[in-house]
Structure 1
Amino acid sequence: MEKYISNIKTPKISIAPMVDKSHRHFRYFCRIMNKEALLYSEMVTAQAIINGDLDRILYFREDEGSVALQIAASNPEDAYKAVKLAEKYNYSEINLNCGCPSDRVSGNLMGAALMSDKNLVYEILSAMKEATSKPITIKHRIGIDGTGVIDNKNNKIIMSGYEDLLDFLETVSKAQPDRYTVHARSAILKGLSPKDNREIPPLDYDIVYKLKQDFSYLNIEINGGFKSLESIEDALTKVDGVMIGRAAYEDCYLLANLNKINNKNKSTESISRGEVIKKYIPYVIEELEKGSNVHALAAPLQSLFQGQKGSKKFKQLLSSSNVKPETLIEILNNILEVMPPDILWN
């Protein structure tokens, strides 16, 4: 395996790139609760960057803090062009998606399907590295089923298990990516929906931990199924970082509690739910004046009281039928008045 020691700073926590979730309103909301986590854009195809409205696709506010841009590409030429175009936006790093199992992506030899051609992944990463001085990282699965890494010499599929993951990385590592974010599930490209691919293939954390143990110089972040402070703290004893996916929107207040991980030796109090709402209101006012979609602005709030007293009432107040451009601010101020004070401010 190519021995490359990156100087990239790996945050202990990152929030995964999630289609229709990781938009800029969600990222701003996350940043209110957690100042340290690395946030990701939604996955953007290289072709969308090359042919699209760059400000609409790539713009983000400086107060979102450290944000990584994730792209999907099927060839090195497009990847190079896309990264060059993204240079003027202040993303802290750029990530190649080799993990998305969506038919729309994998059917075009992007996402997880790229793991079927390790040489192509190497060429794409090399082109991305050539296009920018920013860190270039990769997010991939532990393997794929249904296609697999192609052994052209013997015309057979060979991707399964730890040895074949190493075979994939042996080639990819020659491009010297600055971090490997490993989703600890295989992707099944035929027969499972993207949703099922997040749940049905079993998690195998041990294969990722073994990778870090065997190649300690690699910068490795683990992803897949982390939903509690305890599970994240345990994983951080074995790898460099943990990427959180669905938990960031299913129980978003977890992000506030994760501040305790970054401040181990300090007395750290999490920002209260009430303060989160108060800090979000000025942003909502500003974005509504710009014409931003009101439901996209309300969406990040939905799980703020998950599992807490009053959560049913909170969700009723924020129901899609209630949320309108002319009512959202009134609803948020009403929440500050009617939710249980012990949950709102503690």
Structure 2
Amino acid sequence: MTSSIDIPATISLDQARRFSVAPMMDWTDRHCRYLHRLLTRNALLFTEMVTSAAIVHGDVERHLAFDAFEQPVALQLGGSDPAELAKAVRLAEPYGYAEINLNVGCPSDRVQSGRFGACLMAEPDLVAECVRAMRDATDRPVTVKCRIGIDDQDTEESLDRFADAMVAAGVDALYVHARKAWLKGLSPKENRTIPPLDYPRVHRLRARLTPLPVMINGGIDTLELAEAEMAHMDGVMLGRAAYHNPMLLAEVDTRFFGDTRPAPTLETVMGEMSDYAERHLAEGGRLNTITRHMLGLANGLPGARQFRQILSVDAARRGAGVEVLDRAMAAVRPLRSAG
């Protein structure tokens, strides 16, 4: 293990699901997950969605490799071909992901054209076939992330029908975004905010499916709201709030996992990320592939704007080294001590 921060190896997957960070395209890559793991020792982290075709026909190592420090990590797959998904799962098996998750929630046009993501909510029997094929290919848990419905579906009847098909296929858990996805007329960005949230519908689903673990996602942007949802759900998933304000993850272990160890500080995290960046640079990487995930670390502190500017602009310059992280920290530290 490369970090000096102690990460327990004993937390169960069921425990880790109590709080998870959502899979987010172009965001939750291995560098982002390393940062998030420094902030929370216990939460379940997710990869970006990777298509089964990319794994089967592409560079397996590039798509699937990760640092063991990131565990527990769930691999999210996109696809609708049961045989191809099963092959992708078999290729992922040696990497040791904590669980394999199937994306049935992404509303983008590119995803729809590939016949996966949220459009699959209209085809529960096909999704069930995919889940069965994935389960036959691994002993690891297979889960599904979905919406409460799409377009004009009746979210009471259609969501129950979809969930029942998943249960019959042997799914190990469901993550439910508490909004419909409108595949016609709304952009992916609009689909994250315009369809109304319906938490009670997800609460009813969880009560109906107990003891199957059901986690809720969508519009949860504070730890207070996450805690309120935990009264109804087996777990809560945060997405953009955790990405844009990552230091909130530093409170997760104490608040939701009963961890009594001191929460990581900004100084500690910046020091660890500097060591991590140095290793990445030594392997021929670029600094800004790491620092782009760190821009929100100083949110709310004096000097945060300069901190962001240094990590975005200076880190993108050719030859940028870890001294950029030191300069960013220095922009915040004097003002913190003075205040």
TM-score normalised according to structure 1 size: 0.90
Answer yes or no: is 1:248 the counterpart of 2:248. Answer: no
Q: CA deviation at 1:223?
A: 0.5
Q: CA deviation at 1:176?
A: 1.4
Q: CA deviation at 1:262?
A: 3.2
Amino acid at match of 1:309: P
Whether the 8 Å contact between 2:307 and 2:329 is mirrored in structure 1 is: no
Amino acid at match of 1:323: A
Within a 5 Å distance, the mapping from 1:127-206 to structure 2 comes to 127-145=133-151, 159-206=153-200
Q: CA deviation at 1:215?
A: 2.7
Cα RMSD for the two superposed structures: 2.0
Q: Provide Cα deviations, 1:273-331, integer angstroms capped at 9, x if missing partner.
A: 11110011111000011122322111111000112222112112223355335334112
Tell me, what secondary structure is at the counterpart of 2:94?
A: coil
State how far apart, in whole Å, the 1-side matches of 2:172 and 2:291 are.
Answer: 35
Q: Tell me the equivalent position of 1:274.
A: 267
Q: Tell me the equivalent position of 1:323.
A: 316
State how far apart, in whole Å, the 1-side matches of 2:39 and 2:65 are.
Answer: 21
Whether the 8 Å contact between 1:46 and 1:78 is mirrored in structure 2 is: yes
Q: Tell me the equivalent position of 2:85.
A: 79
Which is further off, 9-18 or 20-29?
Answer: 9-18
Give the one of 11, 14, 19 matched to 1:9. Answer: 14
Tell me, what secondary structure is at the counterpart of 2:48?
A: coil
Q: Provide Cα deviations, 1:182-228, integer angstroms capped at 9, x if missing partner.
A: 00010011121111111111111111111122332121000111111
State how far apart, in whole Å, the 2-side matches of 1:8 and 1:280 are.
Answer: 26
Q: CA deviation at 1:335?
A: 2.7
State how far apart, in whole Å, the 2-side matches of 1:86 and 1:254 are.
Answer: 31
State how far apart, in whole Å, the 1-side matches of 2:254 and 2:168 are.
Answer: 36
State how far apart, in whole Å, the 2-side matches of 1:236 and 1:268 are.
Answer: 22
Answer yes or no: is 1:44 the counterpart of 2:38. Answer: no
Label 1:237 to 1:133 Cα distance change in 2 as closer, same or farther (>3 A).
same
Whether the 8 Å contact between 2:270 and 2:325 is mirrored in structure 1 is: yes
Amino acid at match of 1:212: R
Q: Provide Cα deviations, 1:61-90, integer angstroms capped at 9, x if missing partner.
A: 111121110001112111111111111111
Q: CA deviation at 1:37?
A: 0.8
Answer yes or no: is 1:310 the counterpart of 2:315. Answer: no
Label 1:8 to 1:258 Cα distance change in 2 as closer, same or farther (>3 A).
closer
Whether the 8 Å contact between 1:10 and 1:240 is mirrored in structure 2 is: no
State how far apart, in whole Å, the 2-side matches of 1:345 and 1:244 are.
Answer: 33
Give the one of 232, 238, 251 matched to 2:226. Answer: 232
Q: Provide Cα deviations, 1:22-58, integer angstroms capped at 9, x if missing partner.
A: 1000000111111101111110111101001111110
Matched-pair identity in %: 40
Label 1:63 to 1:345 Cα distance change in 2 as closer, same or farther (>3 A).
farther
Whether the 8 Å contact between 2:13 and 2:98 is mirrored in structure 1 is: no
Answer yes or no: is 1:59 the counterpart of 2:65. Answer: yes
State how far apart, in whole Å, the 2-side matches of 1:181 and 1:341 are.
Answer: 43
State how far apart, in whole Å, the 1-side matches of 2:206 and 2:224 are.
Answer: 20
Whether the 8 Å contact between 1:76 and 1:123 is mirrored in structure 2 is: yes
Answer yes or no: is 1:69 the counterpart of 2:62. Answer: no
Q: CA deviation at 1:272?
A: 1.0
Whether the 8 Å contact between 1:272 and 1:344 is mirrored in structure 2 is: no
State how far apart, in whole Å, the 2-side matches of 1:203 and 1:307 are.
Answer: 28
Aligned residues: 327
**Unaligned residue ranges in structure 2 (runs of 5+):** 1-11
State how far apart, in whole Å, the 1-side matches of 2:196 and 2:305 are.
Answer: 32
Whether the 8 Å contact between 2:28 and 2:46 is mirrored in structure 1 is: yes
Q: Tell me the equivalent position of 2:9.
A: none
Q: Tell me the equivalent position of 1:24.
A: 30
Q: Tell me the equivalent position of 1:152.
A: none
State how far apart, in whole Å, the 2-side matches of 1:345 and 1:296 are.
Answer: 32
State how far apart, in whole Å, the 2-side matches of 1:293 and 1:62 are.
Answer: 21
State how far apart, in whole Å, the 2-side matches of 1:116 and 1:215 are.
Answer: 20
Label 1:268 to 1:237 Cα distance change in 2 as closer, same or farther (>3 A).
farther
Tell me, what secondary structure is at the counterpart of 1:101?
A: coil
Whether the 8 Å contact between 1:13 and 1:37 is mirrored in structure 2 is: yes
**Unaligned residue ranges in structure 1 (runs of 5+):** 1-6, 147-158
Higher helix fraction: Structure 1 or Structure 2? 2
Whether the 8 Å contact between 1:272 and 1:345 is mirrored in structure 2 is: no
State how far apart, in whole Å, the 2-side matches of 1:235 and 1:131 are.
Answer: 34
Q: CA deviation at 1:163?
A: 2.2
State how far apart, in whole Å, the 2-side matches of 1:180 and 1:345 are.
Answer: 48
Label 1:220 to 1:272 Cα distance change in 2 as closer, same or farther (>3 A).
same
Answer yes or no: is 1:35 the counterpart of 2:41. Answer: yes
Whether the 8 Å contact between 2:291 and 2:311 is mirrored in structure 1 is: yes
Amino acid at match of 2:280: E
